[in-house]
Amino acid sequence: MTGALILLAFVTLQRAAELVIAHRNTKHLLARGAVEVGAGHYPVMVRLHATWLAALWWFGWQAAIALPLLALYLLLQLFRVWILMTLGRRWTTRILTVPGEKLVTAGPYRFLRHPNYLLVALEVPLLPLVFGLPWLALVFGLLNLAMLAWRIRIEDGALRP
């Protein structure tokens, strides 16, 4: 198995595990009275990320791996773990608010309002660059930034007191 296939399998399994965690956390939050905001954009976001991953498989499965960029990508995964550990059962892929619950201000949230979105904004173009696919990095990087701008506007509106 090539390095590219191992990396693609890792990312695919990671994303699948995140969806399982997000689903479990969403059920937990809804049971606690959470309200979802902006559900209309969610299918668009899912399609965007699924297409990004499919494009990586289609164009990158035989690619040579740029090791310095891979190291940076793996470093970002440590940032992801920090975010997930900080949010715990509050982490989900949807925008959910529990009435009366305070915002998380620990971990990376001490320094950034949306650390998870910064992570995604960096990794979506970075991973194609690991595979030597700059055009894929540009296309999906720009599409993802547009999605994040839309999502952050919705989320900030939901979190406003």
Three-state DSSP at 22 gives helix
Total tally of structural domains belonging to the chain: 1
Mean pLDDT in residue range 104-132? 97
What are the CB-based long-range contacts (under 8 Å, 24+) for 61-67? 61/2, 61/4, 61/5, 61/8, 62/2, 62/4, 63/4, 63/131, 63/132, 63/133, 64/3, 64/4, 64/132, 65/3, 65/4, 65/7, 65/130, 65/131, 66/129, 66/130, 66/131, 66/132
Q: What is the CATH number of the domain that holds 60?
A: 1.20.120.1630
Q: Which domain holds residue 77?
A: 3-159
* pLDDT tops 80 at residue 161: no
- 35-84 confidence digits (pLDDT tens): 999 999 999 999 999 999 999 999 999 999 999 999 999 999 999 999 99
